[in-house]
Amino acid sequence: MQHQVPIVSLIYSAPKLVEADPWMAFFPTGLGYIQAILHRHGYSCGLANFTGLSKKAARRYLEEKKPDIVGISMFTFNRNRCFELARIIKELLPDVILVVGGPHPTHLSREVFEECPQISAVVSGEGELPMLEIADRLAKGLDWREAPSLIFRDGSKTALLKPVKDLDSIGFPSESFLADFFDDIDQLGYLITSRGCPAKCAFCNTPEYWGNKVRFRSSSSVIQEMKTLWEDYGLTYFNFRDDTFTTNKSRVLDICRKIELSNIYPLWSCQSRANLIDEDRLVAMVRAGCEFIQIGVEHGSNRILRILDKGIDLMQVRNVLTTVRKVGMNLGIYLITGIPSETMEDVEESVRLIKELLPHDVQISPLAVYPGTRLYSELIASSTLPPDFFHNARDTEVFARGMDEFTKIAIARLSLTAEKIKVKARYTPTDFRQQKKFLGWCVTTNILCGEAAEDADQIEDAFIQYSEIIKHEPLNPWGWLKRALLNAKCGKKNAAKADLREVLNLTPKNREAIDVSRELGLNGDAIH
C-alpha cells in the first residue's frame, strides 16, 4: 500500500518580552540539524521563526503549509509562548502530530502536558533520529507512537535512544536550508561543532541534557560547513557556540590548521573555560582568525565558584585571561550574581577581578534556575521552590533570588565597573607591538590594530595596517574589505570602488562588500 510522504514543519517562537534580545530571538540551530537529516532522507521539511509574528499571520502560514508533523523548539523562557502556539496549531490542524522538544520539556514533561494537553508527544533529548523515525513510520503507514525517545501524556515512554555517536551523519543546517520569516542570514554563521561539556556546573543543564562526555563533529565537517557558508551565502564571520569549543586540544589545533589551508579567510569567535585553554591553543586560534573569545568566569570569589561547582579557581582565571591579552584577542567574560548566600563582599571580589584583568566585554546575569540542573533539584529538595513551580510560574525566566534588592544593586555595581574600565581595557599601540613581536605575521592582529586606530581617529595608521594585509596576503579579502570601508568612510569613493572590486573578485557573494557597494550607489557592472 502506497502512503503519502509526510510534510514536516519545525517552528520556533520567542515571547514578546525577549524579542529584542538577539540571542533569544535567533532561530535555534538545533532545528536546522533536524531539517538537515530529514532532507538527507528525502522528506519535505521547512523551518519557520514565528518570533514577532501576529496570530493572524501564524494561522495563515499553518493553513497554507498544512504540515502532517509539527515540531516546536521549547526552552524555559519561551515555554508559555510554545503552549499558546500549540493550541493554535491543534485548533487549525486537529489531526497533526504535534511534538515539542528541548531541555525544558525533556526535564519537565509532566508539567508540559498538564499545561498543554494539545501536545501529542515530547521528544526526550536529541531530536534528529526521533523526528526522522516519526516521519519514516508515518510514510510507511506504521504507528508513529512507537518511534524512540518519546514521552506521552499518560507518562508512558518509548525506548530512549543513545546519543548520536557520528555527528557528521546528521549533516549541518546550511546543506539544504529552507526557512520562512528568517531575515538575518548571519544566524547561519552560529556553528555548533560538538555536543556535551566535561564540566558539571550546578546551574547548567548541559550535563543532564547532552551528557558530560563530549561528542565532536570531525574537523573536516566543520571546515566544509564554513566553506559552504563562505561560498554559497557570503558569510565571512563565524561564531562557534559549543559550550566549550576548546575542550580537545589536538582537535582545536587541527581545525585551526585546516582553516589556514582552506582558502577561506574567516574571522570568528568562540566560548571556553579557564581550565581548558592554554597558550598553544590561543596562538593557533588567533592565527586562524579567532578575534574574540568569551570565557565563563562566573565570579571573582573562589567561595562562590565552589558553590556553583564551576570546577575552576581564580588562579586559572587570571592565568588564562592574561594569556588572552598577551596573544591579542578581544576578551569577553561571563559573570553571575544574585546567588543564594552571596554577599556584597563577594560582589566586590568580582569588581576587583574586572579591574585587574581588563576584559573588553562583560556579560552579567542573575543566577537563573533551569529544570535539569542540580541547582533546581536542590531548591526543590529544600522546599525553596515547590515541585510544580514552573507549572505555575508565568515569568520567562526564573532567578534563584528573584530580582531582589541585593541582585539589582549587584548587577548595577558590576555593570558600572565594566563600563568604566572599557577605555583602559583597549589594546594600546604598545600592546599591539608586543603582540606582533610575539606572534609574527598575523592577519587578525593587523585587523584589530587597524580597527583600534580607526577608533582613535588615526586614519593613516589604519590604512597602513590594512595595506599590510593586502601586501602579505593579496588573496585574503579582509585587507581589501577593511580598506574599502575606510576609504568609503573618508569619502574616497573611487578608491573604495577599486578595493570592493578586489573583494568581490575574491569572494563574489561577500555580503558586506555587496551592501557597501549598494550604499555607495555602485551597481554590479560597476564593481565587476
Return the residue matching grid coordinates 541585593: 406
- The answer to whether 390 and 398 are in contact (CB under 8 A) is yes
In 200-329, at which residue ranges do the beta strands (DSSP E only) sit? Answer: 215-216, 237-240, 267-272, 290-298
Return the residue matching grid coordinates 522528506: 43
pLDDT in 10s for each residue of the chain, 528 residues: 445 789 999 999 988 766 556 666 777 889 999 999 999 999 999 999 999 899 999 999 999 999 999 999 999 989 999 999 999 999 999 999 999 999 999 999 999 999 999 999 999 999 999 999 999 999 999 999 999 999 999 999 999 999 999 999 999 999 888 888 887 888 899 999 999 999 999 999 988 888 778 999 999 999 999 999 999 999 999 999 999 999 999 999 999 999 999 989 999 999 999 999 999 999 999 999 999 999 999 999 999 999 999 999 999 999 999 999 999 999 999 999 999 999 999 999 999 999 999 999 999 999 999 999 999 998 888 888 787 777 777 667 788 888 899 999 999 999 999 999 999 999 999 999 999 999 999 999 999 999 999 999 999 999 999 999 999 999 999 999 999 999 999 999 999 999 999 999 999 999 999 999 988 877 654 454
**What is the rounded CA–CA span in Å between residue 55 and residue 198?**
42
What is the reported pLDDT for 314? Answer: 97
**What is the rounded CA–CA span in Å between residue 236 and residue 11?**
27
CA 227 vs. chain centroid, Å, equals 19
187 closest CA partner among 195, 179, 199: 179
- The answer to whether 385 and 375 are in contact (CB under 8 A) is no
What is the reported pLDDT for 286? Answer: 98
Main-chain phi, psi angles of 397, to 5 degrees: -130, 150
- The answer to whether 319 and 362 are in contact (CB under 8 A) is no
| DSSP three-state, residue 116 | coil
Question: Over the Cα atoms of the chain, what is R_g?
Answer: 25
221 closest CA partner among 286, 172, 287: 172
What is the reported pLDDT for 3? Answer: 59
What is the reported pLDDT for 231? Answer: 93
Which helix or strand (DSSP H or E) is residue 129 part of?
Answer: helix 128-139
| DSSP three-state, residue 263 | coil
> Three-state SS string across 335-395, please?
EEECCCCCCHHHHHHHHHHHHHHCCCEEEEEECECCCCCHHHHHHHHCCCCCCCHHHHCCC
Q: Is 382 exposed, middle or buried (0-12, 13-18, 19+ CB in 10 A)?
A: exposed
Main-chain phi, psi angles of 168, to 5 degrees: -65, -30
| DSSP three-state, residue 94 | coil
- The answer to whether 171 and 222 are in contact (CB under 8 A) is no
Measured CA to CA in angstroms, residue 459 lies from 243, 473, 500 at distances of 38, 21, 19
- Provide the phi-psi class of 137: left if phi over 0, else alpha when psi is between -120 and 50, else beta: alpha
**What is the rounded CA–CA span in Å between residue 216 and residue 417?**
38
The helices-and-strands tally (H runs, E runs) of the chain is 25, 15
Measured CA to CA in angstroms, residue 262 lies from 103, 230, 231 at distances of 36, 11, 12
What is the reported pLDDT for 1? Answer: 40
**What is the rounded CA–CA span in Å between residue 526 and residue 254?**
41
DSSP string computed for 163-224: PPS-GGGG--GGGS--EES---GGGGGEE--EE--S---TT-SHHHHT-SS-EE--HHHHHH
